[in-house]
Amino acid sequence: MTTGGRSDFRWSSKLIDYKEITKDPVTCAWGTFCPCVLFGRNVNRITDGQTSFMKACLTEIVMGGCLCWCCCLPFYAAQFREQLRKKQNLPMDPYSDVHSHMFCHPCALCQEERQLQAAESIPMNAPTKPNPDRHPEETQKHLEELKKTMHDTENKPAETQKMTRNHSH
């Protein structure tokens, strides 16, 4: 949902968020000391499992993710950040996807991880109001009819089997 060129949704944290270091030191440690693991996790979740953790992790290592993340890696990582942004309708903020990974690859990975965690923790809302098209009495009748239909369907195969056995003897 965009209005006037601005997204209605925001990232759950900033690209460089010092408060998150104390709130989530584990993610920050993975992003800082072993970004290939965090990258593999993120990519696997962003692509809904289409890109395996191992493939993403090894690709990040080969592209120099653990040592030098300012050459080819930002261009590879940016495509997954873009997918995440499109899925969750997030702005390209504060930098483009490529520049976020070029400027600070570990920071971008941590921000993406926090965003994925936030999205995964949103509870699904169940209906809290009764169906306005049907009164409670009608709902009760409808449920009773469904139960009867299910009961009849469950008993039919058993009756058919009994009749088949009786005719064969």
Q: Which two tokens stand for residue 65?
A: 């993710």
Dump the DSSP string for 100-113: HHHHHHHHHHHHHH
Long-range contacts made by residues 61-64, C-beta under 8 angstroms, separation at least 24?
61/36
- Largest Cα–Cα separation, the chain: 83
**In this predicted structure, what is the pLDDT of residue 156?**
58
Cis peptide before 94 (omega within 30 of 0): yes
- pTM, two decimals, is 0.65
pLDDT tens-place values along the chain, 169 residues long: 333 344 457 888 888 878 878 888 999 999 989 999 999 999 999 999 999 999 999 998 888 765 555 678 889 999 999 999 999 999 988 899 999 998 888 999 999 999 999 888 866 554 444 555 555 666 677 677 777 776 666 665 555 445 545 555 5
pLDDT of residue 155: 63
- pLDDT at 26 (0 to 100): 92
Predicted confidence at residue 21, as pLDDT, reads 80
CB 88 within 8 A of CB 80: no
